[in-house]
A and B are shown apart, each in its own frame.
Chain A
Amino acid sequence: MIRARRLEKRYGAKRVLRGVGFELSSPGFLLVTGPNGSGKTTLLRLCAGLAAPTAGELDVAVTRGRIGFLGHEPLVYRELTALENLELYGRLYRVPERRERIGMLLERFELWDARHERAGSYSRGMMQRLALCRTLLHDPELLVLDEPYSGLDDDGATLLDRELAERRARSAFVVATHDPQRVEPLASLRLALG
């Protein structure tokens, strides 16, 4: 699914990533660990196609539309409601049976009752759930998740556990986290940066 060799990413004189290589097949689960500033986020942005490496090779075997990316920001418009945000992404990703799928995800992440509220009025935990709905909306083949548990309460974390376990057998994952114990059993490949 992803083949990376001697990846390097520089911002001006600053070298954020250096000599990173791995080969992830699908289904598979790459667990990326490392302290703050070790380049986890940068590596994930490379995998999602948001940035290109300065040097080295990076082959991602799926098209952009089949990748689900969850970053530090929820990537939703604060002035739009949860439903409108998902409608927008559903259209852009050309999700079949959009309405049903959005409804199902909102139900699953317990946001259905708050679907007509502005995303800006959401709590941190609800925002992260909405971001997860956005990430899973188009049923991606490759999931790139940066600190997916951040901001989630216990219920939300359990929901996410279930979602990951269920998809583990059919998707590829690249997950970066501070707290590796939670997803350790799922991992097929580990990469420690820094």
Chain B
Amino acid sequence: MNNLALSNFLNSLERNGLLPAIANKEIQNFIGNQTKAVGKLFLVLAALIGATFISAGVFSIVSHNWDDFPKNVRGIISFIPVLAGIFVYYLAIFKHSKSTSWIEASSLFLMLMIGASMALVSQTYQMDGDIDFFIFVWLCLTIPLFYIARASGIAFFYLILACKFIVPHFGFSLFGPSDFSLNDKYYYFWFFLLGVLPHFYITLNKQGDKQGFRSIFLGWLLGIVFLIAMPIIVKSGYLWWSTAAVIGYYLLGKRFYGGNISSLGRPFQTISLVILYHTMIYFTIEKIFPYIFGSNDIREIGTWNDEQLSFYFLGLFLMITFTFIAVRQRLKGVELNRYIVLLPFLVVFLVGVHYLNEVFDFDMVSFACLFVNFYILGFGINALIKGRRFSNVLYMIYGLFIIANLMWVRYFDMDIAFWLKGLFFIGVGLIFLLIHRNSQDEFEA
């Protein structure tokens, strides 16, 4: 039902004496505010898309290459994009400072015009230059835009460009051997990621646990980009880092986004649950157990370089710190998922099992994998119970997905007699049908 129809319907309820006038007014106010918020988002999106297309047009005009003009004229022309960008930005922050769409679109336009001016100058002076350096300077000049007028939409383009520093090098050769190497300028990515984090912190509503669209957008963007970049930008101790990410994301989400109503509105908690599941399912596979826990073998610490040492211990430090915070909060009675809080202890236990096997030849790997299976099973059941208790159907689906996925992985790697496996999985299927039967009354009623 659209807003006009809903309004008419409410008025008819009031006329027929079914709804008090005051309640009708309150509901109509609420609907009006909701529409305004979505309308604002529409304005921002329209302005951003407009700024992107205009900038693309400017880049195309730049690409024509006006080499018929003398060099000094071309030098002056080079300043036109950045001056136009500065002028629009000036209008936004001094004449339309209350308009989010003006601020966002002008910031994006200025960001792109900085690049256009640099491209024009380098074209005039035939500088093929270094694309990494070009992007580095461009992004350095973009950072103030996050803080002067606090624009957030540019974060998308900014982080996409920053990802240039994590793209691996693929050397393809028709006749010789092809090569592959990781990007050795990954630290630029760290620099630019850290450059936007204070802006993210500023946008957060620190008084409450509910966030608006801007912080939700930044939460999803930063959460996903860091997650994708992590295998490349973390040079050792990946296990500590991924565990720290699970707990860190969860704590951050719980503190600042916990009051948002949907999973979409709680980016860090949602991402945390996805990484948690993804990480733990690997722990259950016995064949890859030594590769997960054997990477960065601590016995070879003497051969590690400074980069590996610092990442290893920083990851360990972050994991311990977040675990400490989580345990303390849990002891104070804060509602935290116990399976997430216990994850670091599980990881340390599994690392211990690995070294017991490696150093003392005491094989407990099968037992550890079995234990993780039960841990995941417990986590899935816990999600089902909690989802039901809080009427959160999405969380219930997550629980169902965890258990089902775990079982499917086991179906393919369980090395037992087929008849026993068959009976076991028939039993599993019956349990799911039992869950269906128990929930049927509640959801079909």
- A and B bound? no
Q: What residues make up the interface of B, taking CB atoms closer than 8 Å to A?
A: none
